[in-house]
Structure 1
Amino acid sequence: MPDVYLPRRTHRSEFLSLRGLRHHILRWGEASASRPPLVLLHGWMDVGASFQFVVDALREEREVIALDWRGFGLSATSGADSYWFPDYLGDLDALLDRASPDAPVDLAGHSMGGNVVMSYAGVRPGRIRRLVNLEGFGMPDVSPAAAPERLARWLDELKAPPALRPYATLADVAERLRKNNPRLSADKAAWLARHWATETPEGFALNADPAHKLTNPQLYRKAEVLACWQRITAPTLWVEGSDDQLARFWAGRYTREDFEARLAVVPQLERAVLQDAGHMLHHDQPETLAARLELFLG
């Protein structure tokens, strides 16, 4: 293994029961009466520790909380054979009831987490002071006609559930992280690997429930998403990397024009593009992202 990244700010691990499920949170800094906590929510197949590099780059001391979503990191699995998007909103609502019951928070989410915070901010607008969406593009609108095929695929996959292969060493986990994102430095990959995987008798297993890889039988309906987005009252910052992720992921099935039309319904929107960054922009340019966050959060 190469040299391992040394954090500038050490997090504290805590476990909370949210909606009857054991959740893991990482906490940096101390609560303050003068400013709200900054709550960070990771993306699909990621963990809350993924934000360590950005937290280290923040110039101002403040309370920061990162959640491991259910079935990721050190949080418990759902106990079911599938995961449902509304549960993430429910878990976030329960977390904020514990973290800041009497005052709005600053809320930021990456990728899947970005989609969760956007919907949540429209459903609970009074809970959010400032909102940040990091590459949470959402997905293409799905026609109701696709429901029978989608449900059939899900039923078939339930009969042969997916699995995640173990890795022989943490170095192999770090190599996988760098293969996913070549911009990730070796020392940061070595540090993340220790949070991304746990040693088992079979090797190092990723801290993720394989059930997350099942086909989602719930259709993604743009109209429902927009109904939430247009109710957002918090000033909102959209941040993306300079690499075109829509073209990479969707190959024309979800166009930039479609996404721009969605963003247009958000009432108070600022934008930022981080150069030399891809989808994992919090790994690629943590210092630049931290500076932009502090400028926006004030």
Structure 2
Amino acid sequence: MYQPRRVAHSGHVPVRTLNYHVLRWGPEGTHAGAQAGAQPPLVLMHGWMDVAASFQFVVDAFSESFVQGRPIIAADWRGFGLTQGPVQDHYGFPDYLADLDFLLDQIAPGQPVDLLGHSMGGNVVMLYAGARPQRIRRLINLEGFGLPATQPEQAPARHATWMDELKQFHRGELALKTYADADGVARRLIKTNPRLPEDKAQWLARQWARPITQGPNQGSWEILGDAAHKIVNPQLYRVEEVRAAYAAITAPVLVVEASETQMEQWWQGRYSLAEFHERLQSVPRLHREVIQDAAHMLHHDQPEQLASLIEDFLTAEAPLP
């Protein structure tokens, strides 16, 4: 099984009505980033049906000079991993934005941070950086493409679908699949991402899932994600608002894509990479890079390549355009 090079310290911080689970690497202490001479905190936010520990391979790939004196913090979004709070039956982007705002107040009060998000997390951090530009020193978006544009006339059907799926959820019809053991979870991870090595899959399976301790499925393993995340968002995705958020970002932005991104496959003609690139034209200070021989989980596929890109972007001394 994979052995982490850098050990994460696990803990919780209060965020609104929740107890957010965070992993910390580097200087210890709640406000470590505020110490004299410390590097800006690097905050890592995962994607849909993922967990904070997913960034372990990239953290291990960072150079010693980069991590020296730099707090690196990853958090489990609400409804994922070990973040604890009231039971919900649906999730929306406004809550993610507010959660992130409260979280940064806890872990880096009064201090700009370097912020990175993957996939869903990438979408959230882009919107957040437009709403709170002063909180971000530099921003990194890993495969956070956003969603297909919607039109107002789609709202009635969207609301009807949302209500129907809420009823399915409350009838227990949207439950996530369980697995016989941790090896079964690892097999599932490898099936989704064939590039994931066996040793990393076995390690990640134990961060991504846990054994069920009671009930009819006792002994099986369950994913650390809320099935309510499968319910459609009742709020339409308004591209004009997204462009406005992008235009309000003042920090330099690095957008990283995988050479074998699966975006076109997911949306089947409803949304293209070219459309995403057109939206990115609204970002004032944009840098784009492509990770070779990688798919959507590029932080698992090529952690060394990604770590090098992150280091170069965050440590560049010359003013970024």
For the aligned pair, the TM-score class normalised by the smaller chain equals over 0.9
- Is the deviation greater in 63-72 or in 236-245? 236-245
The alignment partner of 1:249 has SS state of helix
Deviations 1:84-113 (A, max 9, x none): 111001110001101111210000000000
Measured in 2, the distance between the counterparts of 1:33 and 1:130 equals 20
Alignment correspondent of 1:38: 42
User: How far has the Cα of 1:251 moved from its partner?
Assistant: 1.7
2:22 alignment counterpart: 25
Aligned to 1:175: 187
Q: Higher mean Cα deviation, 253-262 or 136-145?
A: 253-262
Are 1:89 and 2:97 an aligned pair?
yes
The match for 2:53 is 49
1:244 deviates by 3.4
- Match in the other structure for 2:299: 282
Q: Is the 8 A contact 1:70 1:78 kept in 2?
A: no
Which letter does structure 2 place at the counterpart of 1:196? W
- The 5 Å alignment of 1:1-298 reads 4-30=1-27, 31=32, 32-34=35-37, 35-59=39-63, 60-61=66-67, 62-161=70-169, 162-200=174-212, 201=214, 202=217, 203-298=220-315
Q: Distance in 1 between matches of 2:96 and 2:273?
A: 26
Equivalent AA in structure 2 for residue 37 of structure 1: P
TM-score normalised over the length of structure 1: 0.97
Following TM superposition, by how much is the alpha carbon of 1:256 offset from its aligned partner in structure 2, in angstroms?
2.5
State TM-score, norm by structure 2. 0.90
SS at match of 2:14: strand
Change (3 A) 1:245 1:167: same
| Rounded Cα–Cα distance in structure 1 between residues aligned with 2:261 and 2:60 | 27
After superposition, what is the alpha-carbon deviation per residue over 1:197-252, rounded to whole angstroms, capped at 9, x for unaligned?
11114211100010000111111111111111100000110101001322111121
- The letter for the 1-side match of 2:268 is A
* Contact 2:244/2:282, CA 8 A, preserved across alignment: no
Give 5+ residue unaligned stretches, structure 2.
316-321
Q: Which runs of 5+ in 1 are unaligned?
A: none
Shift of 1:5: 0.4
Cα distance in 2 for residues equivalent to 1:190 and 1:244: 24
Code of the residue aligned with 1:260 in structure 2: it is: H
What amino acid is the match of 1:280?
A: M
List structure 1 runs of 4+ shifted beyond 6 angstroms. none
Contact 2:17/2:86, CA 8 A, preserved across alignment: no
**Aligned-partner Cα distance in 2 for 1:87–1:244:** 28
| Alignment partners' CA distance in 2, 1:67 and 1:279 | 20
Cα distance in 2 for residues equivalent to 1:82 and 1:152: 14
Percent pairwise identity: 58
Q: Deviations over 1:55-107 (max 9, x none)?
A: 00000222100010000000125522111111001110001101111210000
Cα distance in 2, alignment partners of residues 276 and 293 from structure 1:
17
Tell me if the contact between 1:168 and 1:204 (Cα under 8 Å) persists in the aligned partners: yes
* Partner residue, 2:319: none
Take 1:142 and 1:183, find their aligned partners in 2: how far apart are those partners? 34
Separation in 1 of the partners of 2:155 and 2:85?
27
CA distance in 2 between partners of 1:72 and 1:6 (Å): 23
RMSD (Å) for aligned C-alpha atoms: 1.0
Do the aligned residues in 2 keep the contact of 1:71 with 1:78 (CA within 8 Å)? no
